[in-house]
Chain A
Amino acid sequence: MKKLLAPLLSAAMLLCLTACGAPKKAETSLFAMDTYMTLVAYGDGADDALTDAARTINELEQLLSRTREDSDVWRINHGGGQVNPTTVQLVEQAIRFSDETDGAFDITIAPLVDLWAINSDAPHIPSQAEIDSLLPLVGSDRITPNGKTVTLDSGCAIDLGGIAKGYTSDRVKEIFARHGIKSGTVSLGGNVYVCGTRPDGKPWNVAVQDPRGGGYACTLTLTDTFAVTSGGYQRYFTAEDGTIYQHIIDPATGYPAQSDLLSVTVVCPDGTRADAYSTALYVMGEEAAIRFWESQGSDPFEMVLITADGRIVCTPGLTDHFIRQEDASYEVQFLSR
């Protein structure tokens, strides 16, 4: 009898331990990089990890902001000078992503972004002539990174907005790892990093915003990876004639991207890549995005495309991580390899 009771009791105690020993949770939020950021970490080093992460986020904003006059990007756009190696590396990465996506992602789009000024108080619908005069300034071949400096062709400007948050999330991942964080979430306005698993060992539930309404389009169950969504549904302006101009400019036309997609979510273990790709795939549109996904060889990524005609197109790698959202009424399609 006692032989039976002993394992029973020890099993009971074990259950108690797992139930009561919930790891410590720390949470912080901040406004940076023109967005609202929320960081959550679990475990002993959680507080330190978040302090460290917040400091790094502010440092990176200092370097990568376009509007701060002491930033590296400002220096690059205004005639050069020495910049931080981090900035040079990030510019080099941006050029690589631009080449990979055949220019669908391009940081030299800045002059056209300024022309349209869609995010500003005074958006402006430019004439074709204005656009044509600026389009030649767009192209990654107009950037020359050179060790400690980055030089641009005359009249050109860069905006790292399409990649800075992704890069920042990569850095936060490193910080979490250094502090031994095994569970946490980082949301940098459309850029999400989920660290490890939830404290209960289950994957994180990452809900994808429904671009057509206030709810969620679907939920992805993810473990230790990045998810980045790009879409034109949040930042746009409506012209007097009712035309809606969303904020992502197509580098090929100089116009706001005429995408048949409402949003693109890219899931992959590289935050910078996920950020750049999500923008590029949105600009490409459904067909080209799927072709681009198919052409990825040894280093594939996963994606969720939400189309304007009410479909969710999902890569097969997410099949087991995809939860339908009944009230969102999208038709869900899975691609095949």
Chain B
Amino acid sequence: MKFSVKKLALCAVLAALALGLSTLESLFPITLLVPLPGVKLGLANIVTVFALYELGAGAALAILVTRCLLGGLFSGTATALLFSLLGGLCAMGVMILLRRSRKLSVYGVSIGGAAAHNVGQILAAIVTLGSTMVVGYLPFLLAVALVTGSLTGFVVSLLLRATAHLHLTDQSDFR
């Protein structure tokens, strides 16, 4: 895939924004509800979903991986990196698939992504703990995912409408 300078700059800004958001959300730990470190609200998902719609799967993936790697670098633990990478990649994969359906809105895509994110995190927890007991947390996480996924969908739909006239990319077919 070829990135124009404009797109590259946009990706960088979005990656930085995602990183900022994930730092921000660590101030509101969901771990009080689900005591598993590495489990997060997924505010950074807003950026991922937005990028997926505005810039396409390739760029969104690039932003996601950048965010995870940098986030891992800042937090300094391999475990945190594994959690965000597995969660993020699961979310990404599911969202790319769901995005292909013309019938789903931003809400459906982001809820699916949020749920997949949590499944990925549970997978990461199984890997690090060597115990499948953690799957017991999944129902709670999925309930949270419904809320955060809707929230993300809401924010992204606002963003998409607000930026529609900006022609952030050369694509002009969303309105």
Q: In the bound complex, how far is the Cα of B97 from the Cα of A4, in angstroms? A: 9
Q: In the bound complex, how far is the Cα of B94 from the Cα of A1, in angstroms? A: 11
Residues of A within 8 A of B97 (CB): 4
Residues of B within 8 A of A1 (CB): 98, 101, 103-104
Residues of A within 8 A of B104 (CB): 1
Residue pairs across A and B with CB atoms within 8 Å: the count is 7
Q: What is the size, in residues, of chain A's interface with B at 8 Å between Cβ atoms?
A: 2
Q: 1/0 contact trace for B98-138 toward A, CB 8 Å?
A: 10010110000000000000000000000000000000000
Q: 1/0 contact trace for B79-101 toward A, CB 8 Å?
A: 00000000000000010011001
Nearest residue in B to A4 (C-beta to C-beta)?
B97
Interface footprint category on B: under 10
Nearest residue in B to A3 (C-beta to C-beta)?
B97
Distance in Å from the Cβ of B30 to the closest Cβ of chain A?
25
- Contact residues, A11-32 vs B (CB, 8 A): none
- Contact residues, B42-97 vs A (CB, 8 A): 94, 97
Q: In the bound complex, how far is the Cα of B72 from the Cα of A43, in angstroms? A: 50
Q: In the bound complex, how far is the Cα of B98 from the Cα of A4, in angstroms? A: 9
Residues of A within 8 A of B94 (CB): 4
Distance in Å from the Cβ of B4 to the closest Cβ of chain A?
33
- Contact residues, B3-32 vs A (CB, 8 A): none
Q: In the bound complex, how far is the Cα of B96 from the Cα of A4, in angstroms? A: 12
Q: In the bound complex, how far is the Cα of B103 from the Cα of A128, in angstroms? A: 97
Q: 1/0 contact trace for A209-223 toward B, CB 8 Å?
A: 000000000000000
Residues of A within 8 A of B101 (CB): 1
Nearest residue in A to B97 (C-beta to C-beta)?
A4
Distance in Å from the Cβ of B112 to the closest Cβ of chain A?
8
Distance in Å from the Cβ of B37 to the closest Cβ of chain A?
26
- Contact residues, A208-241 vs B (CB, 8 A): none
Q: In the bound complex, how far is the Cα of B98 from the Cα of A336, in angstroms? A: 56
Q: In the bound complex, how far is the Cα of B104 from the Cα of A234, in angstroms? A: 71
Distance in Å from the Cβ of A7 to the closest Cβ of chain B?
11
Residues of B within 8 A of A4 (CB): 94, 97-98
Nearest residue in A to B101 (C-beta to C-beta)?
A1
Distance in Å from the Cβ of B59 to the closest Cβ of chain A?
23
Distance in Å from the Cβ of B121 to the closest Cβ of chain A?
18
Nearest residue in B to A1 (C-beta to C-beta)?
B101
Q: In the bound complex, how far is the Cα of B30 from the Cα of A206, in angstroms? A: 40
Distance in Å from the Cβ of A30 to the closest Cβ of chain B?
38
Q: In the bound complex, how far is the Cα of B98 from the Cα of A1, in angstroms? A: 7
Distance in Å from the Cβ of B110 to the closest Cβ of chain A?
15
Distance in Å from the Cβ of B154 to the closest Cβ of chain A?
21
Q: In the bound complex, how far is the Cα of B97 from the Cα of A17, in angstroms? A: 28
Nearest residue in A to B112 (C-beta to C-beta)?
A4
Distance in Å from the Cβ of A12 to the closest Cβ of chain B?
13
Distance in Å from the Cβ of A19 to the closest Cβ of chain B?
13
Residues of A within 8 A of B103 (CB): 1
Q: List 7 A-B contacts (CB under 8 A).
A: A1-B98, A1-B101, A1-B103, A1-B104, A4-B94, A4-B97, A4-B98
Q: B interface vs A, CB < 8 Å?
A: 94, 97-98, 101, 103-104
